[in-house]
Amino acid sequence: MSTIKRFIKQNTHNPVFKALAGFGISINRLYENRNHDIMSNGEWTVLKKIAQIHPAVIIDGGANNGEYSLAINDLAPECKVYAFEPVEITYQKLFSVIKDRQNIYPVNKGLYKENCGKEINIYPSYAHSSLYVVKGVSYIAQQKTTIQLVSGDSFLTDHNIEKVDLLKIDIEGAEYDALLGFKQSIASGKIKAIQFEYGYINISTRKLLIDFYEFLESHGYILGKIYPKSVEFRKYELIHEDFIGPNFIAVRKSEKNLIKLLQKP
């Protein structure tokens, strides 16, 4: 290493470089789409494209106040939407929002790897609840409540659902648990596409992006990150393990038309 290079490296930890690093981090987060607004982060774009294939069934795992379910209903009014929300107070808000809509079916349960009851942590404003304790953040859970959970496989069987066009799971760290609950349906090809959230909470849950890749690729899916105008399908690389999020999508490799549609800007 040259003397000049060594000198620069030895003197990078200073206020100037700290400011530059902070600016660089902000730009990278913007470029990598750290954005949870469905109208601008690409989720709306994905739904518009999926609407073109005339979906029959979409599962909204983690429906919260119903924004995503309403978006589906606006774009594909004939599609049956099963909106899962396990926290009672949030479920009541969801119900009040979608009660006059056709083809949205609220479910007062959460998706999990098995049928059971569990305590969930309720964070400020009820807009955020998780089966996991979120570490390293400035807020703490306000309370806990017991919720009912169901595996996707048993739900699909009980409701005689043969095919799912899109499974969307945004359940604050329990996304991988929910995938395991759909294991039989995923293995048998019942589910065309799966959208899941990945971000900083995965540090607390110890479920990395590579875990999703390995599980879903082993069952015949191709994975990509959702950007505002298109999906970038790509093989896993260590650099992608950045916890920035917010959303990835997995599509069965046999769904070539859907893959092409999602790739288009």
Q: Residue 251 forms beta bridges with which residues?
A: 193, 222
Residue 60: partners with Cβ closer than 8 Å, 6 or more residues away: 68, 69, 72, 81, 82, 83, 84, 168
Asked if 1 and 55 sit in the same domain, the reply is no
pLDDT of the residue at 254 = 97
Containing domain of residue 18, as a range? 1-31
CB crowding 1-22: b at 16 or more within 10 Å, else e = eeeeeeeeeeeeeeeeeeeeee
In this structure, the answer to whether residues 135 and 14 fall within a common structural domain is: no
CA–CA distance from 158 to each of 116, 151, 166, 212 (Å)?
A: 16, 11, 18, 26
Instruction: Note the pLDDT of residue 75.
Output: 97
- Supply the pLDDT for residue 104: 98
Six token digits for residue 17: 């470089």
Mean pLDDT, residues 2-22 taken together: 77
- Domain with residue 220: its CATH number is 3.40.50.150
Co-location of 27 and 48 in the same domain:
no
Question: What's the pLDDT at 6?
Answer: 78
Residue 138: the pLDDT is: 77
Q: Which residue has the tokens 């994905």?
A: 46
pLDDT digits over 82-104, tens only? Answer: 999 999 999 999 999 999 999 99
Distance CA 43, CA 22 (A): 28
Domain count, the chain: 2
Please indicate, yes or no, whether residues 122 and 27 belong to a single structural domain of this protein: no
Report pLDDT for 127.
Answer: 59
Residues 221 and 248 in one domain: yes
Q: Give mean pLDDT, residues 172-201.
A: 96
Closest CA to 261 of 120, 132, 165, 119: 165
What is the residue-averaged pLDDT of the chain?
A: 93
Q: Is the pLDDT of residue 211 over 70?
A: yes
Q: Residue 1: pLDDT above 60? A: no
Strand-pairing partners, residue 146, are 119
163/201 same-domain check: yes
Strands of the sheet containing 129-130, edge to edge, are 110-112, 143-151, 116-122, 129-130
**One-letter amino acid of 12:** T
| Residue 133 burial (C-beta neighbours within 10 Å; 0-12, 13-18, 19+) | exposed
**Across 221-233, average pLDDT:** 97
What is the tens place of the pLDDT at every residue in 37-80? 899 999 999 999 999 999 999 999 999 999 999 999 999 999 99
**pLDDT at residue 126 in the model:** 53
